[in-house]
């Protein structure tokens, strides 16, 4: 993975350890090379840390990554739980909103041309998804 993109991944807010991110990149790269032209799909992207690794692999394979996330945080991100971060709460509605941080992560990494965010609950999106994926 290009060093600058790996640095962006490591700088992004998230929970993925570097060795797992590197393994994710390698697995996505192998899948993309084995199934050229098919996109990658990520379910759950939080603030984009893992997405940077996937975006780097997508760029290397000349494909794209669709990320599916409602960006309202999972259970452990909610108030009172261990991984809650009050800076992720939209004060207008009092709910988590990681989409702005996700977008900043992808922009700062220069991956907006290969990462497409789908904002919604994965079971709803899955009901309408028909595109084969490499990863």
pLDDT tens, residue by residue, 76-120: 665 665 666 777 877 888 788 899 999 999 999 999 999 999 999
Which of 123, 67, 63, 59 has the alpha carbon at shortest distance from 98? 67
Which of 129, 109, 110 has the alpha carbon at shortest distance from 118? 129
Q: What is the pLDDT of residue 108?
A: 97
Q: What is the pLDDT of residue 95?
A: 80
The per-residue DSSP string of the chain comes to: --HHHHHHHHHSSS---HHHHHHHHHHHHHHHHHSTTPPEEEE--TTSHHHHHHHHHHHHTT--EEEEE-SS--GGGSTTSTT--GGGEETTTTEE--HHHHHHHHHHTT-TTTEEEEES-HHHHHHH-------
């Amino acid at each position: 993975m290009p060093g600058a993109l790996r640095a962006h991944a490591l700088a992004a807010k998230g929970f993925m350890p570097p060795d797992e991110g590197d393994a994710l990149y390698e697995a996505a790269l192998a899948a993309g090379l084995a199934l050229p032209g098919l996109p990658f799909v990520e379910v759950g992207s939080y603030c984009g840390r893992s997405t940077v690794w996937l975006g780097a692999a997508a760029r290397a394979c000349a494909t794209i990554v669709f990320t599916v996330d409602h960006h309202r945080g999972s259970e452990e991100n909610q108030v009172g739980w261990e991984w809650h971060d009050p800076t992720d709460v939209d004060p207008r509605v009092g709910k988590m909103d990681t989409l702005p941080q996700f977008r900043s992560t992808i922009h700062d990494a220069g991956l907006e041309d290969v990462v497409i965010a789908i904002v919604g609950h994965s079971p709803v999106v899955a009901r309408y998804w028909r595109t084969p994926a490499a990863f």
